[in-house]
Amino acid sequence: MDCCSKCNVELTENNTNAHYKERTWKICKPCYNSRYFETSHTSGIAGNPKRMYVNGKYISRKHPLYKPGKYKTFSDAAFDGTYKLDSIKEGYVYAITNPAWPEWVKIGMAVDADD
């Protein structure tokens, strides 16, 4: 009697498939599927932290809202990290000029200069 290595449920014809048995994987379909989405098993976020996933789907770097990581929605990606801004006392002050508007100077503050 084989059991799933993750949840210990008995492996039957209904909760596993021949593909798993050929590779001697002792895992049921629900655990395999959850493992797939948790780690994006085919060289996903675990293998490449520069990839973006929204709701388990890969987002191309060409997408205008691209930001590496795993998110449930695009809103989560857009506002990730902003919940801490009120408590942060450190950061960078910057001044930016543009030759097109020589009399204008933008002055701002950034918590993370790279972001």
Tokens for 69?
A: 């990581």
CA-nearest of 60, 84, 58, 61 to 71 is 58
Q: How many CB atoms lie within 10 A of CB 77?
A: 19
Q: For residue 36, give the H/E element and its range.
A: helix 29-39
* 94 within 8 A of 108, measured Cβ to Cβ: yes
* 16 within 8 A of 27, measured Cβ to Cβ: yes
Q: What is the pLDDT of residues 33-63, one digit of tens each?
A: 776 545 444 444 455 778 888 888 888 888 8
pLDDT for 22 beyond 80: no
Q: What is the pLDDT of residues 82-108, one digit of tens each?
A: 555 566 677 888 899 999 999 999 988
Predicted TM-score (pTM) of this structure: 0.35
